[in-house]
Amino acid sequence: MRIDYYFFTVSPFACLAGDRLERIAERHGAEIVYKPVDAAALFARTGGQPLPERPQARRDYRLQELRRQAKKREMPIALQPAHFPTNPAPASYAIIAAQADGAGDTGALVRNILTACWVEERDIAEDAVIRDCLGRAGFDPGLADRGLLAGAETYARNLEEAVEAGVFGSPFYIVGDERFWGQDRLEDLDLHLAGKL
């Protein structure tokens, strides 16, 4: 079984997923393919609105929901981190390079990057932050400097694949024709993989 995991490296809801996806995949013997996607480009193609353009009521609700979900999951989160928004591309390229390299733990790298933004309030567009996240996940920090062209090409391809697959937000999980949007749908993904949903 394969789980295509589409996400934004600046998504607080992806951060709140923690390691639940990896634990579900391990339980069912499923492979995870990590597919970072450009949020602004995806929204432009699928009718979504960037955060600053959303009505105030939706922005207020988002903050409440982040607070509630963080409390429910007993996870820390900075509701308005110091370095958000930031350029998501460098961290996305690093994830793409790391997944191709395979020497470390890609799931841990994704969590490190999300945590750096949403808990530690570090700028995930900075080389030093990306290199630290790579190293702590068992990868060569030098991956941050290599494969930029391949990373950019894969990042663009991920966007096209996301649009074709019906992805419109983050985190988004796809198994075959079944789509699951949001960290709060991971239980449904688990049940689906178990043949119960």
- Indicate the SS3 state at residue 91: helix
> What is the DSSP secondary-structure string of 136-166?
HTTS-GGGGGS-HHHHHHHHHHHHHHHHHHT
pLDDT at 133: 98
Q: Are 111 and 141 in contact (CB under 8 A)?
A: no
- DSSP class of residue 52 equals G
pLDDT at 64: 98
Q: Are 10 and 85 in contact (CB under 8 A)?
A: yes
pLDDT, tens digit (0-9, with 9 covering 90-100), for 11-39 = 999 999 999 999 999 999 999 999 999 99
Looking at the chain, list the stretches that DSSP marks H as alpha helix, in order from N- to C-terminal side.
Answer: 12-16, 20-28, 39-46, 56-73, 89-101, 106-118, 127-136, 148-165, 186-193
What phi and psi, each to the nearest 5 degrees, are found at residue 54? -75, 150
pTM of the predicted protein model: 0.97
pLDDT at 149: 87
At how many degrees (to 10) do helices 89-101 and 148-165 cross?
A: 100
pLDDT at 169: 98
pLDDT at 5: 99
pLDDT, tens digit (0-9, with 9 covering 90-100), for 146-170 = 878 899 999 999 999 999 999 999 9
What phi and psi, each to the nearest 5 degrees, are found at residue 196? -105, -5
**Residue 141 token pair:** 């920090």
Residues 6+ positions from 31 with CB-CB distance below 8 Å: 1, 2, 3, 25
| Matching CATH number, 2-193, of 3.40.50.300, 3.30.470.10, 3.40.30.10, 3.40.47.10 | 3.40.30.10
At how many degrees (to 10) do helices 20-28 and 186-193 cross?
A: 0
